[in-house]
Chain A
Amino acid sequence: MAASMESKAEMGAVRAVSAAAPLALRILAECPVSKARACDLILPHGTVNTPVFMPVGTQGTMKGITADQLQDLGCKICLGNTYHLGMRPGPELIEKANGLHKFMNWKRNLLTDSGGFQMVSLVQLSEVTEEGVQFQSPYDGKEILLSPEKSIAIQNSLGSDIMMQLDDVVSSTITGPRVEEAMKRSIRWLDRCIAANKNPDRQNLFAIIQGGLNAKLRKACLDEMTKRDVPGFAIGGLSGGEEKDDFWKMVTLSTDNLPRNKPRYLMGVGYAVELVVCSALGCDMFDCVFPTRTARFGSALVPWGSLQLKKKQFAKDFQPIDPDCQCPTCKRHSRAYLHALFKTDTAAMHHVTVHNISYQLTLMRSVRESIIEGRFPEFVRTFMKRMFPVEGTYPSWAVDALASVNITLDGACSGQGCDSALC
C-alpha cells in the first residue's frame, strides 16, 4: 500500500520517459570514470533502485520463499515466466484472479518475459515462422502458436509492470544469415507487440535488442529499435554459452547506443562478477535463475565465491554462511546445521535460497551506494580482489571489460595504455 502511494507521488514529480508510459527513470548519479549509473526506476508497484537484480519466480512463486519473506529481503521487483504461467494455470484463470500480483499476493513489481525463450529452449518441437513460434504443448500435445499478439495478450492478462516483446531467439553461438533474419524479425515483432498492448497506461513494454555476436547487426538493431518510443530496452540473445570476450563487447556496444533516459535490462545475467562488470558497462537491470537454483543444491553465495554446504568439510563448521551477512539464515544458523538439515528437510533449501537472494540484493545495493558516493571504481577493485585473492587469477574478459570503461584492477594489467602503478 505504502509503496504504491509513494510511487504515485513520485510519478507526479518525475516526468515519465514517454507521455503515456507508466514508468519514469530518475538518474541519481553517474560514475565519472565508468558508464555505471544509479537510478530510481518508478513503476506502478513502487520504486526500484538500480542497478537491480531481479530474482526469478517462474511459476508465480519464489521457490519455497513466501511473498512476505521476499519483501522483507528488500526485493522490489521479481520475474514471472509467461510460458509457464500461460500453460498453468493459464491466462484466463489469472485474469479471473485479477492478475498475477493478486494471484500470488505480491505487492511489488513484476516483470514477465515473452515466453519465446522458454519455448525455443524447453520445447523440442518448435518452429519459428513470421507468424510466431509454433509448438506442441507438453501437457496435452496440442499445436499452439505463440505470436507477438498472443504473447502480449497473455502478459496483459498477467498484468505485469514490465512486459517483454516476443523476440526471435537464436542461440548466441549461431552465425550466418539466420542471425540477421532473427534480428530483423524481432524488429517487426516489436511493432506488432506495441500495437497489441491493451494496457500501455499500466504495463510497460520493453524492446529486446538482438543481433547475436555480430556488432554490425547489433548496431542495426539498436538504430532501428531506438526509433520506437518504448519505455525500456533489454539486451537479449546473450548469456547463452558464448565467449565472454564476445559477450561484454556486445553489452557495451548496446549501452553505448541506448538512450540515456531509459532503463537497460541485461537478460539472463546473474553471476556476481558479471553483475558488477555489466553495471560498470551501464546496465541497470539483471535477472537469473542461478542464485535460487544453486541454493537448492546447497550452494551458498559469498563474497569470495560459494560454499557447497553439502560437502563434508562443513559438517563441523559452526560459523554462519557469511559472518557479515545480515540475512535471517546467517543470523540464526551455522554452516554445520544447514549441512545436517540438507540430509533431512527441504527447509534447508529455503534457508540457502533466502541467503542467496539476500546476497544478490545486497551486492547490488553496495554497487548502487558506491556509485552514488562516487567511489564505484574503488568498490569494483575491492570486490574483485576479494573474489579473486590469488594474484593473476582475474578472468581476462572482466579485466578487459573494466579497462574499457577506465577501471584498472589492482595487480592486473590490461596491456598497452595501462596506468597501473604495478605495471
Chain B
Amino acid sequence: MRLELRRVLQGCRRGVLTGVGRSGDHSLELPGCLLYTRCGTVPHLTHQTLHTLQHLPAVTLIPMDSLAEHQEVLEEFGGGMGKFAGLQNSVIFCSLHDSVAPHPTGYNTNKTVSVWGSGGRIELSVAQYMALQRAIRPDWYQSLADGDTQQLSTHKRVRKSVDRTLSNLDQCLNLHISTEGLRGSEVFGVVEGGVMLEERVRSAQETAKRPVGGFVLDGLHSRTVSQELRSQLIAAVTKELPEDKPRVLLGVGRPDEVLECVEAGVDLFETVFPFQVTERGCALCFSYDLDPDPESSVLESREKETKIQQKSGDDTLENQEEITQFEMNLKDKRYRDDFRPLVKGCQCYCCKNHQRAYLHHLLVTNELLAGVLLMLHNLEQYCSFFQSLREALEGDKLNALKKRILQRRE
C-alpha cells in the first residue's frame, strides 16, 4: 500500500492510496470515507440495492462488535468474512467498535477489551482478538484498543488507556507476523489519549514507531468532545504521524465536522452519518455544489427561509434536537403532497424514481422501504460530498465549499 500526497491545502491532505487490499489492485482517494456496515451489510441494503449507487467507497468497514459472536462459524467456513458476506471483490477493514451502537463503560481490563454483539458482551483478550481476525481475514484491521475514556476521565485512567493500547498493539503485531492467514493484511495502530493533549501526543509518537499500515484516531466521537477541542487534539496528533500513512477517524461524520477534521489532517471517515440520518427518517439535502447555478441558489435560500419559519412550528417531533441543518425531516406534514425528488439532480435510485410525498407516506406507515430508499439517497449524497471536497482541494475552492457547508450553521 502506498500513499501519494498530491497536495496539502490549509492542512487538508489530497492524495490517493494505491495498492490497497491483499490483492493490491484497489485504490482509495483521500479524503474519503469507508463504507459502514454491520456484519458486512450496509444497513437496510442488499447487494442489489446497494449497487444501484455508482460511486461506492472502495473499502468496506465491518466493526468487530457485529462479528465476534460468529467466530465459530467463520472458523468453520474458512474463507474469511468477505467471502462469507458475499463481498468477494471488496477490501475489508475490520474496526473494533460500531460507532452507532451503545458501549457501556467500565468493562475493559489490562488483559481484555469487551465488544457487544446481538447476544450481549463478549470479552476479548489479544489472543482471542487475533484468532478472530484470522477467521475474518480482513485486508486492514485495527489493533485491539482501550478507548473507554470520557471527557471527565482522570489523567491516570487516560494514561492507562494509552499504555494498554500500546501494549495491545505490540502483542497484536507479534501475533500478526506469526499468523499465516493474516499475511498481506495491514494493522492499523490506535491513537488514544482522551482529551489530554500530552497523552494524545505520547500515544501518537509511540504508535508511529511501530510497523503499522495506518492510524485510527479513537475516542473522539461527536458525543464526547466539542469540535474545537477535537480539532486541536487531532492537529496535535497528526503532527506526530508519518505523512505517508492514512489516518482514519471513526464516529465523526457531520459534514461541518468532517471539514474541520480534514483540515486537522484526517484522511478517512466512515459512512455512519448517512445511516444515522436515515434512522431518524431524514434525507440529506445540504448543498456542497462548488459551482451552483445562481437560479437554484436563490430558490434554495427561499426554501431555507420557509424551512426555518416552519421549524419553529413543529417542535412536537421527537429527535428534533438531533436533526442537523444538513437534512430534511420527511415525516413532517409539509412533505405529504410534495411531488419533487428529495434533492433535485441527485443520481440515486430514490431521487430518480420517487418523490418526497412517497417517502413521507412510507415513513408514516412504518414501511421497510423507507429505510432502503433513504439509505441509498443519504449514501449517494454523502459520497458526493466527499467527491466535492476532493475537487475543492484540487481547484483551490476549499473556502468556497466551507462557506457553503457552514452557511446554515447559524
Interface residues of A (CB under 8 A from B): 59-69, 72, 84, 88-89, 93, 96-97, 103-105, 315-316, 318, 328-329, 332-334, 336-337, 340-341, 343-351, 354
Once the chains bind, are B49 and A66 in contact (CB under 8 Å)?
yes
Pairwise interchain contact B46-A350, C-beta atoms closer than 8 A = yes
Given contacts A96-B339, A344-B41, A344-B118, whether A65 and B369 have CB atoms under 8 Å apart is: yes
Q: Tell me if B355 and A333 are in contact (CB < 8 A).
A: no
Per the 8 Å Cβ criterion, residues 293-312 of B in contact with A are: none
Give me 7 A-to-B residue pairs in the complex whose CB atoms sit less than 8 angstroms apart, sorted by A's number: A63-B367, A340-B70, A341-B41, A343-B119, A344-B39, A347-B46, A349-B368
Chain B nearest Cβ from A338, distance in angstroms: 10
Contact status of A354 and B46, CB under 8 A, knowing A89-B361, A104-B358, A346-B368: yes
Chain A residues in 8 Å Cβ range of B39: 340-341, 343-345
The size of the chain B interface, using a CB distance under 8 A, is 46
Question: CB distance A88 to B339 under 8 Å?
Answer: no
Q: Are B47 and A343 in contact (CB under 8 A)?
A: no
B178 within 8 A of A: no
Q: At the interface, yes or no: B319 with Cβ under 8 Å from chain A?
A: no
A59 touches B361 (CB 8 A): yes
Task: Check B86–A333 contact: CB distance below 8 A.
Answer: yes
- Beyond A64-B372, A341-B41, A345-B38: 6 further Cβ-contacts under 8 Å? A60-B361, A103-B358, A333-B86, A344-B38, A344-B66, A354-B46
Contact B45 A88 (CB under 8 A): no
CB distance from A75 to the nearest CB of B (A): 15
Return the chain B residue nearest A354 by Cβ: B46
Of chain B, the residue at the smallest CB distance from A62 is B369
- For B353, list chain A residues within 8 Å (CB): 66-68, 105
A318 touching B38, Cβ below 8 Å: no
A238 to chain B minimum Cβ distance, whole angstroms, is 29
Q: Does B49 lie within 8 Å of A69, measured CB to CB? A: yes
On whether the beta carbons of A63 and B358 are closer than 8 Å, the reply is: no
Interface residue ranges, B against A (CB under 8 Å): 38-49, 52, 66, 69-70, 72-73, 76-77, 84-86, 117-119, 336-337, 339, 349, 353-355, 357-358, 360-362, 364-365, 367-369, 371-373
Q: What are the residues of chain B within 8 A of A67 when measuring CB–CB?
A: 353
A59-B367, A340-B39, A346-B368 known; A68 vs B361 contact (CB < 8 Å)? no
Chain B nearest CB, measured from A289 CB (Å): 14
Distance of A66 Cα from B49 Cα, bound (Å): 8
Question: Which of B45, B46, B354, B371 gathers most chain A CB within 10 Å?
Answer: B46
Q: Is the CB of A88 within 8 A of B369?
A: no
On chain A, the residues within 8 Å of B69 by CB distance are 343
Check A336 against B48 for contact (C-beta < 8 Å).
no
B370 to chain A, nearest CB (A): 8
Task: List the A side residues contacting B38 at CB < 8 Å.
Answer: 344-345
- Nearest to B79 among chain A residues (CB) is A318
Pairwise interchain contact B339-A89, C-beta atoms closer than 8 A? no
Closest A residue by C-beta to B370: A61
Query: Is B337 a contact of A96 with CB atoms below 8 Å?
Result: yes
Find out whether the CB atom of A346 lies under 8 angstroms from the CB atom of B357: no
Instruction: Say yes or no: A59 contacts B48, CB within 8 Å.
Output: no
For residue A315, which residues in chain B have a CB less than 8 angstroms away from its CB? 73
Tell me whether B339 and A97 are in contact (CB under 8 A).
yes
Contacts of A60 in B (CB 8 A): 358, 361
A347 neighbours in B (Cβ, 8 Å): 41-46
With a CB–CB cut-off of 8 A, which chain A residues contact B77? 316, 318, 336
Which residues on the B side are within 8 Å of A69 (C-beta)? 48-49
Q: B355–A345 contact, CB under 8 A? A: no
Let me know if A332 and B364 touch, CB within 8 A: no
Contact partner of B85 (CB less than 8 A), chosen from A64, A93, A329, A337, is A337
Q: A354 to chain B: which residues have CB within 8 Å? A: 46, 48
Known contacts: A340-B39, A344-B38. The answer to whether A64 contacts B66 by CB under 8 A is no
Is the pair A64, B73 in contact by a Cβ cutoff of 8 Å? Answer: no
**Does B349 lie within 8 Å of A89, measured CB to CB?**
no
**A contact residues around B45 at 8 Å (CB):** 347
- A93's partner among B52, B336, B365 (CB-CB below 8 A) is B336
